[in-house]
Amino acid sequence: MTFGVTPHYPSTAYGYIQRGDDLTDEVSTVTRFIEKPPAKDAEVMLFAGGYFWNAGIFMAKASTMTSALRQYCPDVLDACQRAVALQHRDHDFVRLGHSAFEACPRISIDYAVLEHHGNVAMVRFEGQWSDVGNWREVAKLTPPDTDGNRIQGKGLGLHAEHTFIYAPHRPVVALGTRNLLIVDTPDALLVASEDFSEHVKQAVAALERGGVPQAVQHRRVARPWGSYDSVDAGERFKVKRISVNPGTALSLQMHHHRAEHWVVVSGTAKVTRGDETFLLTENQSTYIPLGQTHRLENPGKTPLEIIEIQSGAYLGEDDIVRFEDSYGRVTSTSTDSEKK
């Protein structure tokens, strides 16, 4: 069973479902699924009627779905079952078998099952729905002012109309703008015409091709032990704000090309540096020389926050050797995704 949303405008961001014969007053068969259409086709479907946005909401018995996966995409089912069978736990994390899950083909459930299955029905979804799939949809979550501006955070519109500002971190002023989307985040700034709200993926792809790191990673990154925020970086230095959850620890590690200074902002830090182990509290600091084994732990009951200043000729995240780790990441070198 799938759910179709009555379209409000000719969206090119959603897939569509063509309704078939009525089975009951509220349920019908499905004639076909239609991939995200060009604007002209979306307009035709909107005025023709009988076409619904594909909400991506499906309902089936687990046994029905498993049977369908086995019939139409057994390689997906096999990879998922092997990943679950190879799972292991560390603390409050359940980690699926990495190599098995990585081998799972990348395909949506629509393509894998729904488009091939011979027994699919649709219910018209009558409630309010949005997949918040673009910034224009996000803007609609904020009530407009008298000029049609929608502002979240520290935005200010002057002589502006129908402008959306998302500015949670710093003041952003829109002066004399019309029909714009302005999204300011710690990673990047987006200024777009409302008509191009569904084209952000093209911009991200262009940034990724250009090697811009913000296209694939955030400034603030979550980790099993807490998180880090890359505050600043320049020639031969990098500054991070590191937050360590109570009772957790980073890996015992060493760097070939960089030294580190740690300053405790709040909480208590247990520091291993070579053969030494000692505690640091608020406003205290320590120095980790290049090539020195070290570890940071939070033995306390409250979060630990430190400022880490890295210095050296090479500050890449692959310059790390792990000797011990609570999260199964002991390797000779790490990748960007295994940072710290």
For the chain, domains (ranges, CATH) are 1-130 (3.90.550.10), 135-207 (no CATH), 220-338 (2.60.120.10)
Tens digit of pLDDT for each residue in 229-285? 999 999 999 999 999 999 999 999 999 999 999 999 999 999 999 999 999 999 999
329 near 322, Cβ under 8 Å?
yes
Lowest pLDDT segment from 4-8, 132-136, 139-143, 165-169: 132-136
- For residue 135, give the H/E element and its range: helix 135-139
Q: Are residues 4 and 17 in contact, defined by beta-carbon separation less than 8 angstroms?
A: yes
- pLDDT of 49 reads 92
CA distance 96 to 35: 31
Over range 293-309, report the average pLDDT: 97
Amino acid identity at 203: A
pLDDT per residue as tens digits for the range 23-46 = 998 899 999 999 889 989 999 999
Between these two residues, 223 and 340, which has the higher pLDDT value?
A: 223
The reported pLDDT for the residue numbered 334 is 41
